Amino acid sequence: MITLNIDLTTESEREHFDPDNMEYTIGTIEFDNFIDFNVYLMCEMNAGDQKVYILGYGGDEDGGDEDGIVFIDHLTCNILDNVSSHLRDVYEGSVEDFDMNVFLFAQDNYNDAYRLAIDLKETTGMLDFQIETDKPDPTVSNGGIKVTQLPN
């Protein structure tokens, strides 16, 4: 079973957000198979938005986070490709009845995304050179993020 913990509402879209009660904004959905999970993500993610997505999953056999992965990108095609390739291999390559927790969040910019990734205590898949350090809150729209691939 795949348990998806999802919150695609960014800070700028929230009104009166209470960080002490963040768990109430996170939806939890359970999927019995990978295909339903993948189709759901394709429907939920908007290729035209300016959000930065954080995808987290994995863990070692003892339930720790040593082998967990956090991937950050503003292109939905990259997030979905990561799910369709690497996450599928992890899920389908494990023992039968393998339970997996997956986290998908959205932020307004890479700074906030990195802070969340650090809170998840994982390394990120984003390369430093893709962020311009002279921008206070780099986003795709303000030119702070170098787009290295074609948009979806």
Three-state secondary structure readout of the chain: CEEEEEECCCHHHCCCCCHHHHHHCCEEEEECCHHHHHHHHHHHCCCCCCCEEEEEECCCCCCCCCCCEEEEECCHHHHHHHHHHHHHHHHHCCCCCCCEEEEEEEECCHHHHHHHHHHCCCCCCCCHHHECCCCCCCCCCCCCECCCCCCC
pLDDT score recorded for residue 76? 92
The pTM is what?
0.71
pLDDT score recorded for residue 92? 79
**Domains in the chain: boundaries:** 2-130
pLDDT one digit per residue (tens) for the chain, 152 residues: 888 888 888 877 765 545 566 566 678 889 988 899 999 999 999 888 889 999 988 655 554 445 677 888 888 999 999 899 888 888 877 755 678 889 899 998 888 888 887 777 655 554 454 555 566 676 767 766 666 555 54
pLDDT score recorded for residue 104? 92
